[in-house]
Chains A and B, each alone.
Chain A
């Protein structure tokens, strides 16, 4: 690898710009490709796919060169709406798993720095907060407040974004009424199918920390096994 190529990769990682390193395994030649780049349509598609699934792709085209595509994606982010007890466990666990965690809650007594040391807190109203975060396909959104006036505005922004995960805490009954409200707000059934509720894998969680495990497990499953 040329030192300047390495510098550019590190600069892109620092600037949170998605980039793919393409290596010709026969000659060792390397190119850096950003979304939309590529010598032809098929290469553009490989770049796009490597970034989307966040995994390396090797081409073995008949007669063509063997090329290895390695994506460097921006960091994962988890946006937790509701600075509640579960959020304290979830923010710690998600950070360990590699997420940059942002907690959204306009209630100052909940979103207190003492309750969330080292976590980014956003005290704007949830819709304004979510808009300012410019959600992308590396984002997971989890709502925990149970309060429609806080959860719903956040969800409406999340549903209009490319967030790879949207999940809501609350019973099946609560979730059914939530879906009805969002439907009235103009979201289609297909759009609402993205919302996982009640959020979390059914592992019999009881404590807030166990619920956080269940939520993080489902987020991980959606990230790594997107067909589920």
Chain B
């Protein structure tokens, strides 16, 4: 069941859209190993870059927000995957060593 904070994310998506903003929704669809947010967790992004919710412990949100802004422009959903590697460890990845797959879609 969605906890209150997940519902707030969906409400924000609806309200921002109704206010005329571009909005994209990111959903964790699969995790492997240790990752902090379970499948179904949401992050909602507004066209000015403001966001609510989380899809990790803060490790990959920056990259997801960038992709979400792109998805708002193209109108096409996409699937992202993040995992930690030595090269990426200082850039985008999960410090906890897990892998996470995220679906990013425009709210239309």
Out of A9, A10, A58, A70, name the residue touching B30 (CB < 8 Å). A58
Does the CB pair A6–B1 fall under 8 Å? no
B39 at the interface (CB under 8 A from A): yes
Given known A6-B13, A55-B39, contact A1–B1 (CB-CB < 8 A): no
Give how many B residues have a beta carbon under 8 Å from the other chain's beta carbons: 26
Does the CB pair A54–B1 fall under 8 Å? yes
A68 to B27, CA, bound (A): 10
Does the CB pair B1–A75 fall under 8 Å? yes
A58 to B40, CA, bound (A): 11
Proximity bits, A1-34, B CB within 8 Å = 1, else 0: 1110011011001000000000101001000000
When distances are taken between beta carbons in the complex, the residues of chain A under 8 Å from B11 are 10
Q: Which of A84-123 contact B (CB under 8 A)?
A: 98
A201 at the interface (CB under 8 A from B): no
A74 to B7, CA, bound (A): 12
Does the CB pair A25–B103 fall under 8 Å? yes
Looking at chain B's contact residues, is the secondary structure mostly helix, strand, loop, or mixed?
mixed
Does the CB pair A23–B1 fall under 8 Å? no
When distances are taken between beta carbons in the complex, the residues of chain A under 8 Å from B18 are 3
Residue of B nearest to A18 (CB): B1
Does the CB pair A28–B77 fall under 8 Å? yes
Proximity bits, B1-21, A CB within 8 Å = 1, else 0: 111100100110110011000
Does the CB pair A72–B39 fall under 8 Å? no
Does the CB pair A74–B29 fall under 8 Å? no
A13 to B13, CA, bound (A): 15
A221 to B13, CA, bound (A): 33
Q: Which of A120-164 contact B (CB under 8 A)?
A: 138
Out of B14, B27, B79, B105, name the residue touching A10 (CB < 8 Å). B14
A220 at the interface (CB under 8 A from B): no
Question: Shortest beta-carbon distance, B42 to chain A, in Å?
Answer: 9
Out of A2, A10, A73, name the residue touching B1 (CB < 8 Å). A73
A4 to B76, CA, bound (A): 18
Does the CB pair A28–B39 fall under 8 Å? no
Given known A1-B25, A3-B107, A58-B30, contact A76–B10 (CB-CB < 8 A): no
When distances are taken between beta carbons in the complex, the residues of chain B under 8 Å from A23 are 27, 103, 105
Proximity bits, B63-83, A CB within 8 Å = 1, else 0: 000000000000011010000
Out of B13, B14, B29, B106, name the residue touching A56 (CB < 8 Å). B29
A30 to B1, CA, bound (A): 19
Q: Which positions in B face A, CB cutoff 8 Å?
A: 1-4, 7, 10-11, 13-14, 17-18, 25, 27, 29-30, 38-40, 76-77, 79, 103, 105-108
Q: Which 7 A-B pairs have the closest CB atoms?
A: A28-B77, A73-B1, A56-B39, A56-B40, A68-B29, A70-B40, A6-B14
